[in-house]
Structure 1
Amino acid sequence: MPHTDTPPSGHATDLALLLTLSTLWGASYTFIRIGVETIPPLTFIAARTLIAATLLLLWMRSRNVRMPRDRRVWMRFGVQALLNSVVPFTLIAWAERSVGASLATILNSTSPVMVFVATAFITRHEPVSLRKLIGVIAGFVGTCLVIGPSALDGLGGQLVPQLAIVAATACYAGAAIYGRSFKGLHPAAPATGSLLVGALVLTPASLLVDHPWALQPSVRSLMALVALAAFSTALAFAIYFRLIQTLGAIGTTAQAYLRVPIGVAIGVVFLGESLPSSAWIGLASVVVGVAAMSMPGSAIQVRRV
């Protein structure tokens, strides 16, 4: 029998998956920065989506999980592909050639703010509470404190690439909200379907623009590509669509905050980087924010106009 329904939700399991997702996506910035050293951004992202989609498709077949055949569902996969992979992946890969990783992380961490505003005043697809609003604000302030105010020194210096990251973040916010429309499907189905559509769009563009057969990528860049595709894309997308159904759009985007201290910790342990003096206060603020955004239960509702 094919799997079609969403796995049962448990808060402890959801938090563990949220932490895993934050780690996988937190590492993606490093993988991208290494990958685009010798692989053009368009080809790098095309290969990322193609490899990840293939891995997920093979996993689904091994587990006898079938892809839907409804044309309308595949059209929705196409919209999700544009919002969650084709446009933001390409914009971030291009922007990271000139924008520092810390500033890119701060700009990309605004997705919970965008999701909250869109949910409160436009889509209204899930309850918006005062608790969640406090969580959104606390998480963003904590993100800035963990990385340190100095990361904002370059703000505006590379305006176009920075705006590209903001645009990518807006796409992710839209994807988190739109991802709710796949309720009832196995989480791997929209993950695989959207990546397949993304690969079908990006691969021909890569062939026309970059002529990848003439490239000479380094082993370092190729290893980063494989790690990004297998772990930070295929596995991460499967977790992401699962959490969209259990934590909701606002709760799932909490990973945008949580991946910041994780990324900083990786830098401290493996690269010998030092923490700014504000980091510990920021870390506490991030934890409070993530907890407020992802905890179940009702709270005072934000008044909608």
Structure 2
Amino acid sequence: MHLPTTKMNSRLGIEIGLLVLLSLIWGSSFTWIKVAVTTIPPLTITAIRVSVAAVFLAALARWRGYALPRDHVVWREFFVQGLLQSALPFTLLGWGSKYIPSGLTGVLNATPPMFVLLIAFVTGYGAQHVTGQKIVGVCLGLLGVVVIIGTQSLGDIQTSAGWAQAAVLGASLCYALASILGRRFAKLPAIVTATGAMTTAAIMIVPAAIVIERPWTLMPSTDAIAAVMVLAVICTALAMVIYFRLVQTLGPLGTTSGGYLRAGFAVALGIIFLDENFDTSTLIGMTLIAVGVVAVTVPIAWPSLLRS
């Protein structure tokens, strides 16, 4: 009688462990970006990252017996998904990381759920799922952004830090749009969608990197080369494999809950390995954003809590 429960608990423990691992991997990506961007420009980082991931995912899809679709309409949608999911946000994050701490980048980039809700307000798409708790969460998150950006940048809007924070928030908006548009691929296996989106991202970003940044003229440091390879192999390709498994086992809500832990890892790793420091106003803003994201994405049974 106890064996099935034991096995179930053991499986759940494995999945929770994988969720923590995925949060650590994605949380560390902001640290690796910070290291890589010192001598490798953002477009080149993104080009390497998506190209390696595309090859890895294509090989995995083929090994699992999946074929990529031939419909040109689907591939046109892949291009939009690849732009919003990888090509544009990866580049914005790379550029923004040149001017602000990696921990702050990680927290600001935890805001896609709030952008999804704001899009629902504006367009009416999904507005039926908007609750008072989510509205409070959005307000708290936006207040946190204002506290961070307002104290550091609004006094001089032309500062690089101000534009960098705007770029990271722009990446979050891209992720929000990608999550909404990604529902069009519900009938395709997740690995096929990821492969198509990553392949089209590589098709878009590689020529841009070659023309604009001329990567063959660069002299990257050993640390930067190692960092960008970790980003490509571990933080993109391997992370995608873990992510797809967790979506099937823990579900979308359980998987996205790792975003809070990811932001925490980003801050901790930045402090430990990059000697990053945060002033009081930044810490307050980061806390408001974290609480806001939790309020937007995690359902809380308030009546049950009040009765207990």
Same fold, TM-score > 0.5, yes or no: yes
CA contact (8 A) 1:35 1:44 kept: yes
Q: What corresponds to 2:129 in structure 1?
A: 127
CA distance, structure 1, for counterparts of residue 259 and residue 146 of structure 2: 12
Q: TM-score, normalised to structure 1's length?
A: 0.74
Q: What corresponds to 1:247 in structure 2?
A: 252
Per-residue CA distance 1:156-178 (angstroms, 9 max, x = gap): 43233332222222111111211
Change (3 A) 1:40 1:256: same
Q: TM-score, normalised to structure 2's length?
A: 0.74
CA contact (8 A) 2:270 2:276 kept: yes
CA contact (8 A) 1:191 1:241 kept: no
Alignment of 1:98-113 (within 5 A): 98-113=99-114
Alignment of 1:255-294 (within 5 A): 255-267=258-270, 293-294=296-297
CA contact (8 A) 1:103 1:154 kept: no
Per-residue CA distance 1:215-235 (angstroms, 9 max, x = gap): 222221111111111121123
Alignment of 1:127-206 (within 5 A): 127-134=129-136, 153=152, 156=157, 157-158=159-160, 159-206=162-209
CA contact (8 A) 2:53 2:237 kept: yes
Alignment of 1:210-229 (within 5 A): 210-229=213-232
> Is the partner of 2:129 in helix, strand or coil?
coil
CA root-mean-square deviation: 4.0
Q: Deviation of residue 134 (structure 1)?
A: 4.8
Q: Residue type matched to 2:175 in 1? A: Y
Q: Residue type matched to 1:95 in 2? A: G
Change (3 A) 1:102 1:117: same
Q: Deviation of residue 184 (structure 1)?
A: 2.5
> Is the partner of 1:175 in helix, strand or coil?
helix
CA distance, structure 1, for counterparts of residue 269 and residue 57 of structure 2: 27
Per-residue CA distance 1:180-216 (angstroms, 9 max, x = gap): 2221322211211111001111111222222222322
Change (3 A) 1:214 1:110: same
Change (3 A) 1:143 1:205: closer
Q: What corresponds to 1:88 in structure 2?
A: 89
CA contact (8 A) 1:138 1:288 kept: yes
CA distance, structure 2, for counterparts of residue 244 and residue 293 of structure 1: 19
CA contact (8 A) 1:18 1:255 kept: yes
- The percentage of aligned residue pairs carrying the same residue is 38
Q: What corresponds to 1:303 in structure 2?
A: none
CA distance, structure 2, for counterparts of residue 119 and residue 61 of structure 1: 37
> Is the partner of 2:54 in helix, strand or coil?
helix
Q: What corresponds to 1:6 in structure 2?
A: none
Q: Deviation of residue 121 (structure 1)?
A: 4.3
Q: How many residue pairs were aligned?
A: 286
Bigger Rg, structure 1 or 2: 2
**Structure 1: 5+ residue stretches without partners:** 1-9, 301-305
